[in-house]
Amino acid sequence: MLVYTSRRLLHSNRSQILRAFSTHSNTKPYDAVVIGAGPGGLTAASNLMDQGFSNICMFDPHFTAGRIHEKYREVPSNTKTHMFEKWATGTKTFSQIIEAAPKPNAYTTMLSFDQDEGCMLGDAVDVAQLLSDGIRKVPGVDSVTARVRKLRRERDVWDLPEHGITSRKVVLTPGSHPKRFDLVDKYPHVKELDLDITLKPSALRETVPAGSKVGVIGASHSAVLALKNLYELGNVSIVNFHRSPLLYAEYKDGWILYDNTGLKGVAADWAREILASENPNPRLRRINLKTDGRTDKEIYDRELEDYTHLVSAIGYEMNALPTIEVDGQEVLADFDPLTGRFKEKESQRPLPGLYGAGIAYPERVTDRAGNVESAVGWFKFMRFCKRVAPEWAAEAP
Ligand SMILES: Cc1cc2nc3c(=O)[nH]c(=O)nc-3n(C[C@H](O)[C@H](O)[C@H](O)COP(=O)(O)OP(=O)(O)OC[C@H]3O[C@@H](n4cnc5c(N)ncnc54)[C@H](O)[C@@H]3O)c2cc1C
């Protein structure tokens, strides 16, 4: 069921009602539609509002501040608390919502933490929820509790045919989910253990019985947190299959080396102390697939013989996008990670008025040592949107 929430609907404005429920896109277009209302979508919407966009529609099937609320509340943050605080006050729109919110609230709670330490993602996402609830009440912002499955470019506007809505601009912030490694299908005696469960200690305890043997594939931040949570169960054996060495973020004078790819916070501390220990616990082994000398198949055939569970922690991939049609033809969209704009993949023609942000469409950055990374994190989404939103706003509709 679709739930349309609009202050103007509440005031029974007839043209709004028509626009919200009409199956024909013949009413006034929105200035912008934002698809996805996780931290990425909230950041994009608030930046466009700072740019003077007064007529915005946000879509999300839940409006619960994205995947972190759903899956990762029990994950310790890899960024310091002050980065979430900077994010929450990064736009005038956000600051006004925070200022107007009754106190105490999630933001004032966050202010009471040591700003130089990490926090639990549950505490950060409560602040995002405060902003999500607040932004939906701003006059001129409509919100639709639904998924967008189709976008059509017609006569200089974007049409959302399922919803009877048109918009001059559309921002895609659909988020991402863990990539699945199909290795598990080849070893049917081994149960697939969802990465998201390993990142939620309260669920993990219920899912993995004592005496289990668990393989974890990957060396990412999430892989290390999965290993830590499994290790802390105290009664399971774990093997970590990896190719790359552990990479740690390094705090330099005014910048961070491997800011987006290196381990930070609790995950880094635990990796240094336990995973990379010179006296490893026999319950926790690591196998480097690159240097082992055996083929991957030989390793897995031998190692997984008596394993009960296998976790893929090999990174994240973008959630399914709405289909995009231009002049009646379905097209694939190529993202430009410097401008946040898109082109048609095949023709390389610009897709005017279509933009991306958040974890699905991060900015590409080059650090002072020349490393090129995707900038993933709430404050990084903010920095990106602050730079590109004025350009998006200035682009002819
Ligand atoms: C384990 C983990 C730990 C992390 N830790 C940190 C950290 O400490 N600090 C930090 O800054 N960042 C962290 N990140 C990275 C990143 O900042 C978060 O993943 C962030 O929450 C991503 O926000 P998002 O809005 O881009 O995506 P999401 O939170 O996934 O939100 C996307 C939203 O879009 C909706 N959606 C998708 N498709 C559609 C559609 N077709 N129509 C309508 N709605 C749609 C989804 O339902 C969802 O609500 C972490 C990530 C992970 C995975």
DSSP SS3 for 77:
coil
Q: How far is the CA of 41 from the centre of ligand 1 (A)?
A: 9
Are residues 20 and 87 located together in one domain of the fold?
Answer: yes
Are residues 85 and 11 located together in one domain of the fold?
Answer: yes
Three-state secondary structure readout of 220-289: CHHHHHHHHHHHHCCCCEEEEEECCCCCECEECCCCEECCCCCECHHHHHHHHHHHCCCCCCCCEEEEEC
What are 182-223's pLDDT values in tens digits? Answer: 888 899 999 999 999 999 999 999 999 999 999 999 999 999
CA separation, residue 67 to residues 3, 5, 84, 346, 349 (Å): 20, 22, 16, 31, 32
Are β-strands 323-326 and 150-154 bridged in parallel, bridged antiparallel, or unpaired?
parallel
CATH of the domain at 247: 3.50.50
What are 234-284's pLDDT values in tens digits? Answer: 999 999 999 999 999 999 999 999 999 999 999 999 999 999 999 989 999
Are residues 31 and 157 located together in one domain of the fold?
Answer: yes
Q: What is the arithmetic mean of pLDDT over 143-163?
A: 96
pLDDT, residue 13, reads 36
Are residues 265 and 338 located together in one domain of the fold?
Answer: no
Choosing from 267, 294, 315, the residue where a domain stops is 315
Looking at 25-29, 53-57, 87-91, which range is the least confident one?
Answer: 25-29
CATH of the domain at 83: 3.50.50.60
Of 68, 123, 222, 259, the residue with max ligand 1 atoms within 8 A of its CB, to mutate for a pocket test, comes to: 68
Q: What is the arithmetic mean of pLDDT over 381-387?
A: 98
**Index of the ligand 1 atom closest to the CA of residue 84:** 11
Which segments of 67-194 does DSSP mark as H helices, in order?
67-71, 81-88, 92-100, 106-111, 121-135, 183-186
What are 115-147's pLDDT values in tens digits? Answer: 999 999 999 999 999 999 999 999 999 999 999
* Two structure tokens written together for 81: 């608390």
Of 3, 47, 60, 62, the residue with max ligand 1 atoms within 8 A of its CB, to mutate for a pocket test, comes to: 60
Contact 360, 40 (CB under 8 A): yes
Are residues 75 and 44 located together in one domain of the fold?
Answer: yes
Are residues 359 and 236 located together in one domain of the fold?
Answer: no
Choosing from 293, 315, 337, the residue where a domain stops is 315
CA separation, residue 356 to residues 40, 45, 392 (Å): 9, 11, 11
127 lines ligand 1 (CB under 6 A): no
CA separation, residue 231 to residues 198, 234, 274, 289, 311 (Å): 11, 6, 10, 21, 14
Are residues 276 and 329 located together in one domain of the fold?
Answer: no
38 lines ligand 1 (CB under 6 A): yes
- Count of structural domains within the chain: 2
Are residues 36 and 157 located together in one domain of the fold?
Answer: yes
Element (H, E) at 174: none
Choosing from 287, 315, 343, the residue where a domain stops is 315
* Two structure tokens written together for 139: 């006059």
**Index of the ligand 1 atom closest to the CA of residue 121:** 8
Contact 208, 309 (CB under 8 A): yes
362 lines ligand 1 (CB under 6 A): no
For residue 300, the enclosing domain spans 180-315
Are residues 204 and 345 located together in one domain of the fold?
Answer: no
Q: What is the longest distance spanned by two Cα atoms in the chain?
A: 71
User: DSSP string covering 337-348, please?
Assistant: TTTSEEEETTT-
Of 263, 319, 321, 374, the residue with max ligand 1 atoms within 8 A of its CB, to mutate for a pocket test, comes to: 319
**Index of the ligand 1 atom closest to the CA of residue 265:** 8
77 lines ligand 1 (CB under 6 A): yes
Percent of the chain with pLDDT over 70: 93
Of 33, 62, 67, the residue with max ligand 1 atoms within 8 A of its CB, to mutate for a pocket test, comes to: 67
Q: How far is the CA of 316 from the centre of ligand 1 (A)?
A: 11
Q: Which of 152, 107, 164 is nearest to 130 (CA)?
A: 107
Query: Which residue, by CA, sits nearest to atom 12 of ligand 1?
Result: 377
Are residues 201 and 75 located together in one domain of the fold?
Answer: no
> What residue type is assigned to position 102 of the chain?
P
Model confidence band, residue 175 (pLDDT cutoffs 50, 70, 90): very high
Are residues 88 and 222 located together in one domain of the fold?
Answer: no
Are residues 188 and 280 located together in one domain of the fold?
Answer: yes
